[in-house]
Structure 1
Amino acid sequence: MIIGGSASQDLAAHVARELGEEVSYVETKKFPDGERYLRINGDIEDEVTVIQSTGYPQDENLMELLFIISTLKDLGAKKVRAVVPYMGYARQEKRFNPGESISAKTICNLIQAA
């Protein structure tokens, strides 16, 4: 099963068609205070591949990816793969100056933890 996040629905549909897999989409909306609502449509299989870019707007797309992964696990998926065609915050993969955040490492840790 392939889940297409809102930032990568077309790509998810193409990949699913090429692989002969079922594709499912997420329903998202924004509450008046800016928080996100997310609902995964369809029955969840044991193995799921999520396709979601974390490009602009990076924070929103990243949070959606984390919500999708966490929700899939809560709903019983035993193995979740994340395909991130564009990974926001990947530019800072090492510390160039003292005190800088290594954002790529943090993002990878968040995805893995979800």
Structure 2
Amino acid sequence: MKFRSHYMSIVLLSLLCACASQQKGDVATSVPVCAQQLSDFDHAVASHGTRNASTSKVAAFPFLRANRNSVLMGKQVGAAIAGGQAADVLFADWVAQMRGLDRAARASEFRNL
């Protein structure tokens, strides 16, 4: 049983590393491969019941997670856009925050596997 958990950790770590090491020149094939790797990792987390409950997944964006703060920030971005303000920096900060939440949640889920 212990061997199986070590084996699963090695497999998941290599999937995540492969996703992170895709070369920029090969964008056409790296996006589906990376999306599949994220899906495989999410499936492993779900099957083992080790999901991090501090954040929620963002539908259609498997690389983003949200919490209360990011939802509030999203409303601020929407209000800025609706008000005719340039919201490029706000939007970039908002997405960066949600990407950070996903990375932290995946690291926690990986440790829990």
TM-score range, shorter chain: under 0.3
Higher strand share: 1
Higher relative contact order (CA 8 A, sep 6+): 2
Task: Report the structure number with the largest CA radius of gyration.
Answer: 2
Higher helix share: 2
